[in-house]
Amino acid sequence: MIVEKGRYIVLKDPQETLESESLGSCIGLAGVDEETQVIGLWVFVLPAAKILSRPCNGVPPAFFAAEGLDEFLSSLEEAGARRDQLKLVAAGGARFLEAPTVFDLGGLNASMLRKLLKDRGLNLSGEKLGRPFPAKIWVEPSGKVLVKITGVEEESW
């Protein structure tokens, strides 16, 4: 199942793999509780809604890191996951070789995610963030999380 940008999908006793499209500077965050067999994948685009100069209708909270993280975590918990045994893996957050700060969305997204997780006492078990090349992340029904960056051997957690 493809998880579109600005959305998340959570599955209990999964039969299907959850996968992102090419992430660019967006970040895909996988959440897995192997014990309770819950998997989830969330792809956010911007660090926070307050970055916009005016509210934009029809944009889901999951489009933003700050507004979407708690919704994603709650959804994992509602499906039966326990927060203290979650495996969290992040990928994407691509950055240009050189660009004015306003274009460094990958850097902004990664910083925001790390801060939000730290505030909630959570850590990433693995991350592949900030490379300039395309990345994809997917979560298998077994709970295995894989990240593939073009031209680099895939890694798993």
Partner 1 sequence: MVKVLEYVFEELNSVPNFPETAFRALRMLEDENINFNDLAKVIRYDATITANFLKLVNSAYIGLRRKVESLTQAFALLGLNQIRFFLIAACAGQYLNRPLRGYDLSPYEVWLHSLGCGVFAELISEKIKAEHQDHIFTAALLHDIGKIVLDLFVGGELEVIRELVEEEGLSFMEAEIMVLGTDHAVVGAELLRRWGFPQEIIFAVRAHHDEDWMVQNQTSAVVALANTLVNLLGIGMGADGLSYRIPPALLKTVGLKDKELFDVITVGFQRYQNLKENLLHK
Contacts to partner 1 by CB under 8 A: 4-6, 21-26, 45-46, 51-54, 56, 58-59, 63, 92, 94-100, 102-103, 105-106, 131-134, 150-151
C-alpha to C-alpha distance for 28 and 6, rounded to whole angstroms: 10
Nearer to partner 1 by Cβ, of 52 and 78: the residue is 52
C-alpha to C-alpha distance for 138 and 3, rounded to whole angstroms: 9
Nearer to partner 1 by Cβ, of 150 and 156: the residue is 150
* Minimum distance from residue 10 beta carbon to partner 1 (Å): 21
C-alpha to C-alpha distance for 38 and 31, rounded to whole angstroms: 8
* Minimum distance from residue 114 beta carbon to partner 1 (Å): 20
Neighbouring residues of 129: CB distance < 8 A, sequence distance ≥ 6 = 27, 90, 91, 92, 93, 106, 110
Token pair 């792809």 is found at: 43
Nearer to partner 1 by Cβ, of 22 and 123: the residue is 22
Tell me phi and psi for residue 138, to 5 degrees: -145, 155
* Minimum distance from residue 130 beta carbon to partner 1 (Å): 10
* Minimum distance from residue 85 beta carbon to partner 1 (Å): 30
